[in-house]
Amino acid sequence: MWDIVGTSAALGDDGRNGSAAASTYSSVHIGVVLDSNTSMGAMVDLCISMALWDFYSVHSDYKTRLVLYRKDAQNYLDVASAVLELMKNEKVHSILGPQMLTDDKFIVELGRKAHVPVISFMARSAQSLSYAQSPFYIRTTPDDSNQAKALATLCQGFEWHEAVILYEDSAYGNQFLSQINNAFREADIRLANIVAISTSAEGHHIKKDLNKLKTMQTRVFVVHMNAALGSRLFVLAKQAGMMSEGYAWLITDGLGNFMNSIDSAVVDSMEGVLGVRPYVRKSENLKNFETRWKKNMLLMKPESTVKELNVYGLWAYDTVWGLAMAIEKIGMVNPGFLERKTSKNCSEISNLRISEFGPKLAKELQNVTFEGLTGDFHLDGGQLKSSPLEIFNVFETGDRIIGYWTPDGGIRRKLALTGGQTYSTSTKELKSIVWPGDSVKQPIGWAIPSIGKLKVGVPMKDGFTEFVKVSKDPLTNKINVAGFSIDIFLSVLQQLPFDVDHEFIPFTNQSGLSKGSYDDLLSNVSKTFDMVVGDTTILADRSKYVDFTLPYSESGIVVVVKHKKEKDMWIFVKPFKWDLWLTIFSTCIFIGIVLRILENRAKNNSDSLGPHKQQLGFLFWFPIAVLAFPEKNMVTNNWSRFVLVVWLFMAYIIMQSYTANLSAMFTVDQLDFRLSDDSYIGCQTGTFVKDFLINRLHISESKIEEYSTVEEYHEAMTKGSKNGGIDAIFDEIPYMKLFLDRYSSNYKIVGPTYRTDGFGFAFPLGSPLVIHFSRAILAVTEASNITAIEQKNFGVNYSSDNQLDSINKASPGLTAYNFGGLFILIASALLFALFCSETSVGQRLTDILTYYSHRCFFFLSFRGYNESRASSMVHPDTNGHSSSDEEEVVRGSDRLDDSSMPGREHEFVQRNVNISSRDAQVSEVQMSEQRNVDVSSRQINS
State pLDDT tens for residues 438-476. 999 999 888 776 556 789 999 998 888 889 999 888 788
Instruction: Report in angstroms the alpha-carbon separations of 179 from 148, 321, 348, 873.
Output: 6, 30, 36, 115
pLDDT value for 785: 79
Lowest-confidence pick of 91-95, 672-676, 864-868: 864-868
Amino acid type, 805: D
Of 261, 367, 245, nearest in space to 307 by CA: 261
Distance CA 766, CA 438 (A): 29
Among positive and negative, which fits the CA dihedral 169, 170, 173, 179? positive
Instruction: Report in angstroms the alpha-carbon separations of 151 from 124, 384, 390, 529.
Output: 16, 20, 11, 32
pLDDT value for 591: 73
Amino acid type, 832: F
Distance CA 622, CA 644 (A): 10
pLDDT value for 334: 62
pLDDT value for 810: 43
Contacts of residue 457, defined as CB under 8 A and 6 or more positions apart, other chains included, come to: 505, 506, 507, 521, 524, 525, 528, 529, 531, 532, 533, 534
Stated length of the chain: 942
Q: Is 512 left (phi over 0), alpha (psi -120 to 50) or beta?
A: left
Long-range CB contact pairs, 779-785, < 8 A, 24+: 779/495, 780/488, 780/491, 780/492, 780/495, 780/552, 781/552, 785/491
Q: Is 531 helix (H, G, I), strand (E, B) or coil?
A: strand
DSSP codes, 558-591: EEEEEPP----TTTTTTTS-HHHHHHHHHHHHHH
Distance CA 599, CA 590 (A): 14
pLDDT value for 665: 72
* pLDDT level of residue 884 (50, 70, 90 thresholds): very low
Q: What is the DSSP letter of 198?
A: -
Rounded average pLDDT over 532-555? 91
* pLDDT level of residue 615 (50, 70, 90 thresholds): low
Instruction: State the SS3 of 801-867.
Output: HHHCCHHHHHCCCCCHHHHHHHHHHHHHHHHHHHHHHHCHHHHHHHHHHHHHHHHHHHHHHHHHHHH
Distance CA 200, CA 76 (A): 17
pLDDT in tens, 787-818: 888 888 888 777 655 444 444 444 444 455 55
pLDDT value for 903: 41
pLDDT value for 575: 80
697 Cα distance to chain centroid: 26
pLDDT value for 336: 62
53 Cα distance to chain centroid: 63
Lowest-confidence pick of 224-238, 276-290, 571-585: 571-585
Q: What is the DSSP letter of 86?
A: I
Distance CA 525, CA 532 (A): 7
Rounded average pLDDT over 646-665? 78
* pLDDT level of residue 207 (50, 70, 90 thresholds): very high
- Strand pairing class (762-763; 502-506): unpaired
pLDDT value for 128: 53
* pLDDT level of residue 720 (50, 70, 90 thresholds): confident
Rounded average pLDDT over 841-852? 80
The H-or-E segment that residue 7 falls in is helix 2-11
> What's the burial of 526, exposed, middle or buried (CB within 10 Å: 0-12/13-18/19+)?
middle
Q: What percent of the chain has pLDDT over 90?
A: 31
Task: Report which listed range, 251-260, 644-653, 909-918, is most confident.
Answer: 251-260
Q: What angle do CA 895, 897, 898 make, to 5 degrees?
A: 70
Q: Does the pLDDT at position 116 exceed 70?
A: yes
Q: Is 221 helix (H, G, I), strand (E, B) or coil?
A: strand
Among positive and negative, which fits the CA dihedral 461, 465, 467, 473? positive
* pLDDT level of residue 160 (50, 70, 90 thresholds): very high
Distance CA 382, CA 528 (A): 53
Q: Does the pLDDT at position 882 exceed 80?
A: no
Contacts of residue 662, defined as CB under 8 A and 6 or more positions apart, other chains included, come to: 571, 572, 574, 575
pLDDT in tens, 847-865: 887 787 777 766 656 555 5
Q: What angle do CA 215, 216, 222 make, to 5 degrees?
A: 115
Among positive and negative, which fits the CA dihedral 423, 427, 431, 437? positive
pLDDT value for 825: 62
Long-range CB contact pairs, 85-90, < 8 A, 24+: 86/31, 86/33, 87/31, 87/114, 87/116, 87/352, 87/353, 88/348, 88/352, 88/353, 90/29, 90/31
pLDDT in tens, 764-780: 887 878 888 999 999 99
Rounded average pLDDT over 205-210? 93
Instruction: Report in angstroms the alpha-carbon separations of 175 from 232, 278, 631, 649.
Output: 22, 18, 99, 84
Pick the residue with more confidence: 5 or 521? Answer: 521
User: Hey, how many other C-beta atoms are within 10 angstroms of the C-beta on 793?
Assistant: 20
Q: Cis check for the bond before 335: say yes or no (omega within 30 of 0).
A: no
pLDDT value for 60: 92
- Strand pairing class (118-120; 137-139): parallel
- Strand pairing class (274-278; 389-395): antiparallel
Rounded average pLDDT over 520-525? 91
Q: Is 537 helix (H, G, I), strand (E, B) or coil?
A: strand
pLDDT in tens, 249-305: 999 998 999 888 888 889 999 999 999 999 998 899 999 999 999 899 888 777 766
The answer to whether 850 touches 916, Cβ cutoff 8 Å, is: no
Exposed e or buried b for every residue in 42-66, given b needs 16+ CB within 10 A? bbbbbbbbbbbbbbbeeeeebebbb
